[in-house]
């Protein structure tokens, strides 16, 4: 996988579980672009925030 912004290959990946969904945060060390995916599917920031919101 490469950065969608600069095609850089130095990426940091951090796994998170939000509402029982596995989300991986990718961060590019070169241009600092961040994006998320859920089981290979790209997830928008809005969706991530929605998943991270705790509703009681
Ligand atoms: Zn980049």
Q: Given a cut of 90, is residue 27 above it in pLDDT?
A: yes
Between the CA of 26 and the centroid of ligand 1 the distance, in Å, is: 10
pTM above 0.85, yes or no: no
Between the CA of 52 and the centroid of ligand 1 the distance, in Å, is: 25
Selected residue with higher pLDDT from 54 and 23: 23
What is the 3-state secondary structure of the chain?
Answer: CCCCCCCCCCEEEEEEEECCEEEEEEEECCCCCEEEEECCEEECHHHHHHHHCCCC
Between the CA of 36 and the centroid of ligand 1 the distance, in Å, is: 14
What strand order describes the sheet that includes 41-43? 11-18, 21-28, 34-38, 41-43
Contact by Cβ (8 Å): 49, 37:
no
Between the CA of 41 and the centroid of ligand 1 the distance, in Å, is: 19
């Amino acid at each position: 996988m490469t950065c969608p912004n600069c095609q850089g290959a130095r990426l940091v990946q951090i796994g998170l579980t939000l509402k029982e969904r596995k989300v991986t945060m990718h961060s590019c060390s070169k241009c600092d672009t961040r994006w998320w995916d859920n089981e290979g599917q790209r997830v928008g920031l809005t969706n991530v925030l929605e998943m991270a919101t705790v509703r009681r």
